[in-house]
Every structure is written in structure tokens, then in C-alpha cells.
Amino acid sequence: MMDASRQGSAVGFEGIHKAFGDKSVLEGIDLEVAPGETMVILGSSGCGKSVLVGMLVGLLRPDRGVVRVEGQDVTGFLHDEDWHPIWLRTGFLFQGAALFDSMSVRENVAFPLRQHTRLGEAEIGARVEEILSWIELGGAADKMPSELSGGMQKRVGLARTIALEPSLVIYDEPTTGLDPLTSDTISDLIRRLQKERAVTSVVVTHDVRCAFLVADRLAMIDAGRILVSGPCEEIRNTQVPKLRAFLYG
């Protein structure tokens, strides 16, 4: 079991249990993510991956155990005021991108900057242009979400996610519903974000190709527990039957 008193980890889970009614989902999860690391959490649908990362932003609370974000115990946080500093440092890319349909691409990316900073409109505009250029969508600034492909919507969602320059980014199934080429583009952006901006990333996915493209380490949840965790090559060469079946069929 990891030492939950450590202050050096960006994310820490210790002894996490969670049930919904009489259905137990997580049964003693221990996992630690180092600053600047990309951790991929694998598992079949319904295994509790999204439940686990939802605890990092207060969407869910564990029944037992401790959750830490950047060394701070967030397990007992009850109010938005408690979570607010964490939210400002954390980006969450939702599975469906969750763009505002009535706002242009430019306005979607500018939204968190207007809500949470004191930047003037010129500064916000420059910041938006910089981010859109980084995701190679500078020419789409005035388009509406309905005019974009699924992959473009996901890239705009990522642009909005990183607008406040978070130190931690959580990705919930970032490549679901995308074709292989577009999935690789999203995976490349995730990796670039870590390499160029030293962002800590937690990626929830069942997309094995994406997992190996972006991960420093991987962990697989099975039957409510971490079945195995380790660096990419160790996982790729695993002899654990359930993990081999998940990775290779």
C-alpha cells in the first residue's frame, strides 16, 4: 500500500471503496500519480474508472478511503468553496466534449477565462488565439460546434480545458467515437500537453492504442481493485491472463 502521507504525488488514492446501493464498484483502490506523469486507467465498461476520477473533482465521494490532489486531502470537502481552488488547477475533458452549442469556438474557449480571471478582452482574445493555434484549429474560431466534426469538437473541448493552464488534466474516454486517425491526433495532443507544459494527466480509457500512445504508466481496474499497474513496456509484456485478454483479445 502506498504511503498516503506523501506530499510529493500529484494524485493519490488510498483504500478507496465505493458502492451504489448493494452494488460494490471499488473495493480498496490504491494508486499514486507523480507530478508531470500521465497515468492511464484501463478497464472494461462499468469497472469504476470514471467513478474513481470523478472523486478528484468532487463529482463523487468515496464511502471509505482517502483522496489527495497535489498533497491536499479532499476526501471531506463538502462545499464548492472547498473545491474552488482545486477546480481552478484542474482541467476535465468530458467524454462528449460538452461544448456550449450556442457559443462559437472562440467563445467556448474564452468562457473560463471570462469567468475565472481578470484578463481584459484583448488579453483573452490573444490567449484564445494562442490555444486554438496550438490545437491547429485557428481557422475555426468563428464556427459553431454543430459545424465541427467529432474530432474537432473534442479538440475544442481540450482547448477550453487548458485555457486556465491547469496543472492536472483528467480525460474521460478522450477517443470514444472517433476514427483511428482522429484518435491518434487526440492522443498526440495529450502527449504534447504533458511534454511541453509539464501537465499531470489521468486518462480513463478502454482504447488500448490510445493508452500506449500517451501513458507513462498504466493501471487496470478489475473486480473493484487494481489488477496490475506499471510502465508501458511492463504492461505490454504482461503475463497476467485477464490483462492480456483485455489488451490483445
Q: Calculate the CA dihedral of residues 207, 209, 215, 220 and round it to 10 degrees.
A: 50
Q: Which neighbouring-strand residues pair with 83?
A: none
pLDDT at 136 over 80: yes
On whether residue 32 sits in a domain, the answer given is: yes
Highest mean pLDDT among 6-10, 236-240, 245-249: 236-240
pTM for this entry: 0.89
| Mean model confidence pLDDT for the chain | 91
Q: Which neighbouring-strand residues pair with 68?
A: 12, 73
On whether residue 31 sits in a domain, the answer given is: yes
What span, in angstroms and rounded, lies between the C-alpha atoms of 54 and 167?
17
Give the domain range for residue 47: 11-248
Q: Which residues of 60-82 are buried (b: 16+ CB within 10 A; e: fewer)?
A: bebeebbbbbbeeebeebeeeee
Taking alpha carbons only, the member of 52, 103, 35 closest to residue 224 is 52
What span, in angstroms and rounded, lies between the C-alpha atoms of 122 and 97?
26
Residue range 219-232, pLDDT digits in tens: 999 999 999 999 99
What pLDDT does residue 1 have? 35
Number of domains in the chain: 1
On whether residue 130 sits in a domain, the answer given is: yes
pLDDT at 5 over 90: no
On whether residue 66 sits in a domain, the answer given is: yes
What would the mean pLDDT of 209-217 be, rounded to a whole number? 95
Could you tell me the CATH number of the domain that includes residue 71?
Answer: 3.40.50.300
On whether residue 1 sits in a domain, the answer given is: no
On whether residue 5 sits in a domain, the answer given is: no
Residue range 69-127, pLDDT digits in tens: 998 999 989 899 999 999 999 999 987 778 899 999 999 999 999 999 999 999 999 99
On whether residue 188 sits in a domain, the answer given is: yes
Residue range 44-62, pLDDT digits in tens: 888 889 899 999 999 999 9
On whether residue 183 sits in a domain, the answer given is: yes
pLDDT at 3 over 60: no
